[in-house]
Structure 1
């Protein structure tokens, strides 16, 4: 065989071999896919069988549940039928009972009406018999007996009412007086204020005796010029090592004091220097007012005041009322009102502010017409104070009704500060006149034999005629006198009224 033919044969055999291998490989893969498909079909068939079995089980359970529901529905229908029957029976019983009760009530009403008529007839007979017996025994007609019975009942009612009033007053006095004393005492105990006494002189100590000659000047030139310029009397030889400035105008005296202090500190005292120091003292008056107002507000615990109010309050340091410095009085009132407000649960800030500002109008009463309460209230309102504070200022002398508890506390603080021992001094003639007015007012009441003012006018003893005023009328008379004093007299603090009825009998053994 030729080499070329052999090579062809060999190539054909190789191609056949390759084709055979490919066929075998394809057959093997086809078998594997067939087996895999068979396994997948078997798995799907098993899953389908399992799902079918589960569905059959669910269907059986649903059928069982439906049978159970049908049974329960049947039982509920039967129960509903029984309940309806019981309700019908109960309704029938209620209707029967209502009819029986109605019959019984009508019968009872008829019986009661018959009994009432019989009792009324017997009572009328008994009253007629008793009336005839009473008239025959007592010698009184029916009208006279009724009048006597009415008088006795009225007297008994009056006695009972007086007793209840006495008991109520005693109970109120025990509770209200005790609580009021505790509140006021608690507020006062927090203070440590000095006894205030405002005078008409200012005393300046002299650093050295040689200044006395400088103040007087050559032939009294300096002292005469100082007095003419300031309007203040200067007393040099009255007090050793001191100069006394005397003037009823507190503002002029204060300016003169500042002027003299500046002159003594400088050492140069002559008419030109006196005029310069006096001008500086006048210019610094507003600064001194502001400083005094801020200091007082800080001590009183009051903040956010209008600058004009602060300056006006500072001017009150030169004012006095019955010898009591007005600015110190306002600081004390603010502390008292705040303490009492804290005790009773009121607004402490409003009470403190109203008490501190309540006499601010005294700095303007010489310039503006009206009472110091009205002027102060208008000034506070104009500078942005609250309605409660303005009412407390306007009402502290009862010129307008107090609208808040804080306004009443301001009145109480004002009275406590003014009435405490040593706070104020009064002229003897004013004191005697007030005592005489108090005794005359009390003596004007019917049945009063004598009235005695005691304890500096804070207590009045009333002696009554025993034949005109009995024991039952004593509380009413004491109350009437107290109300009369409140309405017609002006006084600090409170006045206690004690009514005394004394019946004496005497005999002589011979």
Structure 2
């Protein structure tokens, strides 16, 4: 019991000590807070005193500056008043001087009028008239001198541009002929080409419309025809027949049909190569195909597609020298003779036909105008049209580019076929033997034997009346009937 009471006394004494410690700590914290509050109050007071002192200084400085500005404003106003007075004085003096000058000028004018016997308006008109005459005379002299210099410099510059463009594009000149040569692997092949009693060579000439010349020249045969497309088709046909080894009339017809499609493919390829060579972009496929057909077209012996490519290069170089858009000029020059591939289908000049064809396939108005104006049928109104016309003339006028005799010969052969083809019942016409023979194929169900004789006589009469040619021309009308059956 005593032990429990002792423990309780010790616990009570410990609690009292703890309470005393807590109270002591609380009093110390309160004292510290009071001391910190007094220090903060003192610092705030000092800061307020410093700020008030600074504000007082600034107010005093502002007052001083305001006084100086006020004094300066008074001085400026006084200066303005003084200047206004001087300006008024100068205006008065200027007005007085102007009145004096006017009076003196009037007096001098009256004196001049008295001496010259003219009024002021008359004297003024006389002076103006004399000055006008002198100015016109000087203007005419100046204009003539400028025109003379411009013409001389323009001609010299044009010669330099054209000569430089032609020299930069030094293309080979090759005149087209009407004969193609094919080399044989052996002399024995000539007999197989001729066939028994000439059956194969007659069938070949009838199907292709090309004259096959076999002479004593070793291992060589010649294909003669004025139409280059027909001649190329015949050449491919003969090459395929020789490679195949089977040469007979039915096989000739089959290979000839296949060669026609091959020539069409070559035309498309030729058009694509021409577009690539001249760097012309986004050309309509129909324009490319028609352009390629000019690979087998000639103008005065000059290949038309080669002429177009050459013209495009020359025009592009001239445009670059002049600072013109060379892509548009090259495009117009490449297409300017495209109508020559269509003249047998549409009536009109090849320039007008080509312009309309290009317009229908999406070409711009500048290109269409350049095509239509390249032969002067339409007045050229753009730089591109003039350059296209110039490039066409440069390409066609180069030495050795064209031969008049070849073109005349081709026109005569074309006219021979036109005369014969104009009669009713005629299916095919072939000008052969370099124009010395015309073979006319007629439809047997339309033309009888007597009619064939009449056609031959009428064609011979028209040829004799319309054409000029050396020697004589033989007209042969062929009327052939075929019967075909199949054994099954």
Aligned residue among 159, 165, 169 for 2:148: 169
Tell me which residue corresponds to 2:434.
none
SS at match of 2:180: strand
Aligned residue among 324, 346, 351 for 1:373: 351
**Matching of residue 89 in structure 1 with residue 78 in structure 2:** yes
**Is the alpha carbon distance of 1:371 and 1:31 closer, same or farther for their aligned partners in structure 2, counting shifts above 3 Å?**
farther
Residues of 1 paired with 2:49 and 2:23: CA distance? 38
SS at match of 1:195: coil
SS at match of 1:329: helix
Check conservation: 1:238, 1:244, Cα contact below 8 A. Answer: no
Tell me which residue corresponds to 2:109.
120
**Matching of residue 223 in structure 1 with residue 229 in structure 2:** no
Spell out, residue by residue over 1:25-72, the C-alpha distance to the aligned partner (whole angstroms, 9 max, x if none).
223222322332233223222321222122112211221232123223
The structural deviation recorded for 1:405 is 4.8
The structural deviation recorded for 1:419 is 2.6
Residues of 2 paired with 1:364 and 1:76: CA distance? 97
Aligned residue among 101, 104, 116 for 2:93: 104
Tell me which residue corresponds to 1:41.
30
**Is the alpha carbon distance of 1:429 and 1:370 closer, same or farther for their aligned partners in structure 2, counting shifts above 3 Å?**
closer
Check conservation: 2:187, 2:218, Cα contact below 8 A. Answer: no
**Matching of residue 302 in structure 1 with residue 275 in structure 2:** no
**Matching of residue 22 in structure 1 with residue 11 in structure 2:** yes
Aligned residue among 35, 50, 53 for 2:39: 50
Residues of 2 paired with 1:187 and 1:47: CA distance? 101
- 1:489-504 map, 5 Å: none
**Is the alpha carbon distance of 1:27 and 1:414 closer, same or farther for their aligned partners in structure 2, counting shifts above 3 Å?**
farther
Tell me which residue corresponds to 1:484.
none
SS at match of 1:333: helix
Aligned residue among 270, 279, 291 for 1:313: 291
The structural deviation recorded for 1:215 is 3.1
Check conservation: 2:300, 2:407, Cα contact below 8 A. Answer: no
**Is the alpha carbon distance of 1:103 and 1:399 closer, same or farther for their aligned partners in structure 2, counting shifts above 3 Å?**
farther
Aligned length: 400
**Is the alpha carbon distance of 1:316 and 1:238 closer, same or farther for their aligned partners in structure 2, counting shifts above 3 Å?**
farther
Residues of 1 paired with 2:17 and 2:192: CA distance? 146
Tell me which residue corresponds to 1:233.
211
**Is the alpha carbon distance of 1:119 and 1:424 closer, same or farther for their aligned partners in structure 2, counting shifts above 3 Å?**
farther
Aligned residue among 217, 221, 226 for 1:243: 221
- 1:98-497 map, 5 Å: 98-128=87-117, 158=137, 161-162=140-141, 164-167=143-146, 169-170=148-149, 173-174=152-153, 176=154, 180-181=158-159, 183-237=161-215, 241-399=219-377, 405-426=383-404
Question: What residue ranges of structure 1 are gaps of 5+ in the alignment?
Answer: 1-10, 130-145, 431-510
Check conservation: 1:388, 1:403, Cα contact below 8 A. Answer: no
Residues of 1 paired with 2:242 and 2:369: CA distance? 47
Check conservation: 2:299, 2:407, Cα contact below 8 A. Answer: no
The structural deviation recorded for 1:312 is 0.7
SS at match of 1:365: coil
SS at match of 2:221: strand
Check conservation: 1:292, 1:317, Cα contact below 8 A. Answer: yes
**Is the alpha carbon distance of 1:70 and 1:342 closer, same or farther for their aligned partners in structure 2, counting shifts above 3 Å?**
same
SS at match of 1:421: coil
The structural deviation recorded for 1:258 is 2.3
The structural deviation recorded for 1:224 is 3.0
Question: What residue ranges of structure 2 are gaps of 5+ in the alignment?
Answer: 119-125, 409-488
**Is the alpha carbon distance of 1:156 and 1:79 closer, same or farther for their aligned partners in structure 2, counting shifts above 3 Å?**
closer
SS at match of 1:262: helix
The structural deviation recorded for 1:290 is 1.5
> Whose RCO is larger (CA < 8 A, sep 6+)?
2
State TM-score, norm by structure 2: 0.71
